[in-house]
Amino acid sequence: MDLASVIGIVLSFGLVVSAILTGSSLTIFISVPSFLIVIGGTIGASLVNYPMSYVVGVVGVIKNAFFTSIQPPAEVIAQFLDFSNRARREGILSLEPVVKEVDDEFLRKGLQLTVDGLDPETIQEIMETELSYLDERHQSGADVVAVMGTLAPAMGMIGTVIGLVQMLQTMSDPSTIGPAMAVALLTTLYGAILSNLVFNPISGKLKVRHKQEQLIREMVLEGILSICKGENPRIIEEKLNSYLAPKDRKQGE
């Protein structure tokens, strides 16, 4: 679980709720009509903008912001040093038992293609295609969440207009002014909270996750091609270290 995301959500909502409780009861900020306008309108507009599978899949996309773990680059380098040393000592076929032990699907596929004896150009073409479609899937997921972040405050403004119209039409009855104004203001509040505390931050986290995973995938591809070409482990280490900032690089003994 991503601790930063959890802390951020808890901290932001906790401070908002605490600020409310210092001056009033939390119950006066609960409005079913406002909730329906913002949530229903956001989901409905998203369904117009995207295929249903994209919108339904947004739950899994949001889950990735909290639960996806990225393998540290240092572990990737150490892994490939082990693979390259084994391949140089015992041959490429010695990596075949390792393939079944690898959890990462992208790495497992690259190793299998290498063990199968495909040439580096073919392996690069296949794995770069995988990378391009990975980029497309990640981008579409982040885009759906970002669009929902744009739609939520817009739905809040629509709710505000609805509440104001209801208030103006019933000005002769003072008892109706309060509920109508509550709908008008709470829809704006709900839209702003969902946009700025949920959807937009999660969209940003997904984009960061994608960049991290893309870096690991590119390192894996470089390592696979280097092993396939029979390069020296020291050279492979230097190549993979070049993907990292100088402070993050670890040199072998």
Q: Which pLDDT tens digit goes with each residue over 153-179?
A: 999 999 888 888 878 887 777 777 777
Which distant-in-sequence residues (6+ apart) come within 8 Å of 250 by Cβ? Answer: 74, 77, 241
Q: Measured at the alpha carbon of residue 57, what is the angle toward residues 53 and 58, in degrees to the nearest 5?
A: 125
Domain interval for residue 9: 1-29
60 and 20 within one domain: no
Cα separation of 103 and 44, whole Å?
38
17 and 92 within one domain: no
Cα separation of 216 and 214, whole Å?
5
- CB neighbour class for 123 (10 Å; exposed up to 12, middle 13-18, buried from 19): buried
87 and 159 within one domain: yes
Cα separation of 104 and 176, whole Å?
60
Task: Give the alpha-carbon dihedral of 164, 170, 174, 175, to 10 degrees.
Answer: -90
237 and 149 within one domain: yes
Q: What is the mean pLDDT of the chain?
A: 86
70 and 24 within one domain: no
How many domains are contained in the chain?
2
Q: What's the pLDDT at 44?
A: 93
Q: Is the pLDDT of residue 132 over 90?
A: no
Q: What's the pLDDT at 250?
A: 64
Each residue's pLDDT tens digit, 1-12: 678 888 888 999
Threshold 0.85, pTM exceeds: no
Structure-token pair, residue 154: 């817009």
